[in-house]
Structure 1
């Protein structure tokens, strides 16, 4: 299963983490989400390669933005 790690900016508390996690988990291909509040790093495991567009849309829905989408 593909894994994608990126950075989300603006998260300041566990509620933020829960919101981002919830929105990303609603994507049909996503099987696991791990969010590190201290660094803003989000690791998503999915059945197929996660697109930046889908991830950005989910993160925006939670009220945050992706600040770093490293090439893989």
Structure 2
């Protein structure tokens, strides 16, 4: 399981947007986004460039902070 910290989430709509962004990346599955903790966890079925993940999260309106 990989874990990333995400800033800017404030509601369940935010959680759904981040979940959709991550699920849209080829090689990522089992996405779980925790609003309270401000983080997302996921499994990689193949190696995914961290910059791709940051870009998709950014396009959804949020920032990867760790």
Q: Tell me whether the two structures share a fold, i.e. TM-score over 0.5.
A: yes
* Structural RMSD (CA): 1.0
Match among 20, 23, 27 for residue 22 of structure 1: 20
Aligned length: 66
The 10-residue stretch of structure 1 (50-59 or 3-12) with the greater mean CA deviation from structure 2? 50-59
Structure 1: runs of 5+ lacking an equivalent: none
Query: Shift of the alpha carbon at 1:49?
Result: 2.7
> Which residue does 1:45 correspond to in 2?
43
The runs of at least 4 consecutive aligned structure 1 residues that moved more than 2 Å come to none
Structure 2: runs of 5+ lacking an equivalent: none
TM-score, with length taken from structure 1: 0.85
